[in-house]
Amino acid sequence: MDFREQQDLARRQTRILVGLYVLLLIVAAAAVGGLMWLGLTLGEQAQANQATGSATIPAEATWQAFAWAAGLTGGGILLVTLFRWFTRSDGAKVAKSLGGRELTGAGETNLSPAERQYLNVVDEMAIASSLPRPRVFVLDQESGINAFAAGTKPENAAVAVTQGALDHLSRDELAGVVAHEFGHIANSDIKLSVRVAAMVFGFTFLFFVARWWFHVGVGPGRRDARLRIAMLVGAAAIALVGLLTVFFGRILQAAVSRQREFLADASAVQFTRYPDGLKSAFEKLKGGASSRVESDAAAEMNHAFLFRAGGARLFDTHPPLEERIRRLEGQPSA
């Protein structure tokens, strides 16, 4: 496997997908701006007609209304996005929320042979990746084979594997799995994941705009019945734009996550110089071993796990195992 070529490919595709997010933001702001401009123009036209019997709104005024509406909509989406953008995720808190037991620090005493081996593998990968040793956890109650990394920067990162991974993976397979998680830390994938989720969350601002526009339409005041209907239709259209942007945003979010999984696979090969370890772990899953995580918090963290932890496949954040194995074998993508 040419892991550097795979890393370059995954990074290029991630940049393209983030660019599509920006395009989606512009389209959403323009669409909502246009709808609000239409409603404002109709309102001003109706008021002018009532006052003078006939009036025409200058084209310059209508374009100004559009610019203000689009600008305020885009600005609102960006503010909501930035609110989530700078959210800091502490890896240890995430691991504990999933039922993780810490092995580092005070937990390093009375370790089982499998846990000691796991800790040794983590130390080896920390050296190979030139990263500080993260806090290390095991999910004792999880019998499926899985692992994840959490934390928005190396200093607050944590790595966790399930008890099933310790029970059923060989040392080489475990090293490949842990190296994959170190790949996420080295490539700042957790931070990227938080920021991409923030972008999708930002589009929910459109629902607040739709609600406000609805209340303006049905609220008190002297308005022509046709104008009220137009404003209610506009509110529904804005809500539809919000629904579509969140829907397509989730699709792009899943696509970004899949590319980062490929990148972490390539990084694991870089750190271990042994693709067969991770490949063998993938083949165990392909052969029918379970990767399910039973914790109630697993659904929210599904994107962070090495393997799909459960949930709906509509917005799958993990590439097919067959494709991941092909890439590890150095075969061209299907």
- What would the pLDDT profile of 255-282 be if each residue is shown by its tens digit? 888 888 998 999 999 999 999 999 999 9
The mean pLDDT value for 210-233 works out to: 73
Of the chain, the end-to-end C-alpha distance in Å amounts to 15
Which of 196, 178, 198 lies closest to 258, judged by CA? 196
Q: For the ranges 107-111, 115-119, 198-202, 245-249, which has the lowest average pLDDT?
A: 107-111
The mean pLDDT value for 277-294 works out to: 90
The mean pLDDT value for 71-87 works out to: 80
What is the token pair recorded at 316?
């799958």
How many CB atoms within 10 Å of residue 116?
12
> Which of 44, 181, 261, 323 is the catalytic position?
181
SS (H, E, C) 203-227: CCHHHHHHHHHHHHHHCCCCCCHHH
The mean pLDDT value for 146-162 works out to: 91
Higher pLDDT, 180 or 294: 180
pLDDT of residue 125: 97
pLDDT-derived band at 34 (thresholds 50, 70, 90) equals confident
Q: Decide: helix, strand or coil at residue 280.
A: helix
% residues pLDDT > 90 (the chain): 30
Can you tell me the distance from the alpha carbon of 229 to that of 121, in angstroms, rounded to the nearest whole number? 65
155: pLDDT strictly greater than 60: yes
The number of helices, as runs of H, and strands, as runs of E, in the chain is 11, 4
Higher pLDDT, 161 or 214: 161
Could you tell me what percentage of the chain is helix, strand and coil, using 3-state DSSP and rounding each to the nearest 5? 70, 5, 25
Residue 49 makes CB contacts below 8 A (sequence gap 6+) with 55
Q: For the ranges 2-16, 37-51, 241-255, 290-304, which has the lowest average pLDDT?
A: 37-51
What is the token pair recorded at 61?
């005024």
> Considering the entire predicted model, what is its pTM?
0.76
Mean pLDDT, the chain, rounded, equals 82
Residue type for 59, please?
A
pLDDT of residue 79: 85
Q: For the ranges 84-88, 276-280, 284-288, which has the lowest average pLDDT?
A: 84-88
The mean pLDDT value for 40-56 works out to: 59
Distance between alpha carbon 108 and the CA centroid of its chain, in Å? 33
176: pLDDT strictly greater than 90: yes
How many CB atoms within 10 Å of residue 167?
10
Which of 113, 151, 112 lies closest to 135, judged by CA? 151
Contact at 8 Å (CB) between 85 and 195? yes
Higher pLDDT, 314 or 64: 64
Q: Decide: helix, strand or coil at residue 162.
A: strand
Contact at 8 Å (CB) between 249 and 23? no
pLDDT of residue 221: 62
The mean pLDDT value for 307-317 works out to: 65
pLDDT of residue 208: 85
Q: Clarify whether 181 is annotated catalytic.
A: yes
User: Could you report the per-residue pLDDT of 118-149, keeping only the tens digit for each?
Assistant: 999 999 999 999 999 999 999 999 999 999 99
Report the chain's C-alpha Rg in angstroms: 25
The mean pLDDT value for 58-87 works out to: 74
The mean pLDDT value for 298-317 works out to: 68
What is the token pair recorded at 235?
């509110």
